[in-house]
Each structure stands twice: as C-alpha cells, then as structure tokens.
C-alpha cells in the first residue's frame, strides 16, 4: 500500500494504453504529479501475449508505483506502474460480498408488498440496519440469548419486545434500528418479518462463526465498513499509518465496528 497510486487509463483501438494519476499520496514539493503513466513491462505490439487483465478505456485502477523517471519534477518524465486491482471491480465485489453476507436477511426482505416496493439501495440499507442491531444485541447478551430474544417476536408484539429491552439495557433499547423498523411499516406482520430476518442472520452467523468480516478498499483512501456499509474516507496521515503497519485494523466511526482489512 505504501507505493499505491490510483490511475485512470485511456486505451485506443491500436492497443496503446496511457494513464493519468487521479490520486497521488506522494506529491512532489507539495504539487500533485501531472505525468503520463505507463504499465511496466507492457508493450503495445506485444499486447496479445500479455498475461492478466488490462485496463479498458476510462477505467480507474489501483497500481503499485515502480519508477518515476524524474522524481524531482512534478510535471516532467513518466511513471511506471504495476497493475493491482480494478477499482470499479473492487466496488462491485464489495457490494456482491455484502449481499452474500446479508443473504439470510435479504431472503426475508424479498417477500410481501412492502419489501417488494423497496429499491435495491433501500433494501441494502434496511438489511445493514437489521444486521447492526443483531450484532449489538449479540455482543451484549451473547449469541444464544440474542437468538432467544428475537425469536420471542413470535409470541410478543414488536412494541412489547422492544419495550422489554429497556430494563435490561437502555442503549440497546434506544438503538436507531428500532425506530427505522417502526417508520418503515406499522403493520405487525411486516415488523415481525424484520425480526425473523435477524433470527435467520444470527443462525447463519452461528454456523459460519463470522459475524464481522473485513473492511474493503474502494480507492481514494476510502474503505467500506463490513457491518453498516458506511464509506470511511481517511486523512493522509492515517492512510499512510495503516499502509505501513502489519495486521492493520480500522474502527468505523458510524457503528464502532473494529475489523481487519481485506487485501
């Protein structure tokens, strides 16, 4: 990560590939480097024999800087890089991974008229909120007790179940997801489905043993939280700190989740 650059590439029909730096953590004398970027080892006439993917026109890639031919000059020379990952693909992978981890909840949120009316983004937001509530209750009460608590929704109303938390833990009772469920739909069956979705997710977590996951890098010093899907943009100093540390962890400022980084 220390030598990472974010580069936008242009590619013509002849196979020539050039890039420009769109995010540079190593400016020269405070000035961003405005230089042509080339892929180290790539030659236009040998493109058919290149091993691995190549950038398409307009794609942004995370690259490992191998050489700056004029490191003292922010505008002269060129930068040679090794391709690491397609940032657009990283974002798509993060969303796909998020949906996979939320699958037990999503299965419940696809039934019924209320859930069917949700857009994909709204469904993802609700699923992340339900998972966040489930994690908080499981952390405070333990997974077995959390399962027992949410399973009690079948015998109590949503309101009574929520109210029963207040004497046990005021912070859990005031978790914003309770209000989000109430605002989403006042019908008891819909609210019950939300809690049953939590039970399904807790059951899946119990089988897999993985409750948290890891932060995934999206580019521009930005990570996505595995718990609440918040996007966290770090300052340059913090970004450099985790780039050089082993087994780095981040803490989400939105939901307080602490987890490692997905390479």
In order along its 263 residues, the chain shows pLDDT tens digits of 567 888 999 988 777 899 999 887 777 777 778 899 999 988 877 767 788 888 989 899 989 999 999 988 988 899 999 998 888 887 777 777 777 778 888 888 776 677 877 887 788 888 888 988 888 888 787 878 888 888 877 678 888 888 888 787 888 888 889 998 888 888 888 888 888 888 888 888 777 666 566 777 777 778 888 766 778 887 777 777 776 677 778 888 877 777 777 65
pLDDT at residue number 1? 56
Q: H/E element holding 172?
A: helix 170-173
pLDDT at residue number 50? 81
The reported pTM is: 0.56
pLDDT at residue number 135? 84
Tell how strand 4-11 and strand 17-23 pair up.
antiparallel
The DSSP annotation for 197-212 comes to HHHHHHHHHHHH--SS
Question: CA–CA separation, 38 vs 80, rounded Å?
Answer: 5
Q: Which residues of 201-220 are buried (b: 16+ CB within 10 A; e: fewer)?
A: bbebbeeeeebebbbbbbbe
């Amino acid at each position: 990560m220390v030598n990472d650059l974010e580069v936008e590439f242009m590619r013509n029909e002849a196979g020539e590939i050039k890039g420009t730096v769109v995010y540079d953590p190593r400016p020269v004398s405070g000035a961003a480097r405005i230089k042509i970027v080339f892929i180290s080892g790539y030659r236009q006439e040998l493109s058919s024999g290149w091993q691995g993917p190549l950038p398409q026109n307009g794609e942004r890639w995370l690259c490992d800087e191998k050489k700056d031919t004029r490191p003292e000059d922010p505008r002269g020379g060129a930068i040679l890089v090794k391709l690491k990952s397609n940032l657009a693909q990283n974002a798509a992978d993060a969303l796909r991974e998020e949906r996979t981890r939320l699958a037990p909840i999503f299965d419940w949120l696809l039934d019924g008229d209320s859930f069917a009316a949700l857009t994909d983004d709204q469904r993802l937001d609700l699923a992340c909120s339900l998972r966040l509530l489930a994690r908080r209750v499981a952390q405070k009460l333990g997974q077995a007790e959390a399962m027992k608590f949410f399973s009690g929704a079948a015998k109590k109303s949503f309101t009574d179940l929520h109210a029963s938390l207040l004497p046990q833990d005021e912070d859990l009772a005031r978790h914003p997801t309770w209000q989000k469920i109430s605002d989403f739909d006042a019908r008891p069956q819909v609210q019950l489905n939300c809690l049953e979705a939590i039970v399904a997710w807790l059951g899946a977590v119990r089988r897999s043993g993985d409750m948290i996951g890891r932060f995934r890098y999206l580019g521009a010093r930005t990570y996505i939280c595995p718990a609440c899907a918040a996007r966290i943009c770090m300052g340059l100093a913090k970004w450099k700190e985790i780039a050089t540390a082993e087994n780095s962890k981040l803490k989400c400022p939105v939901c307080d989740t602490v987890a490692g980084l997905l390479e």
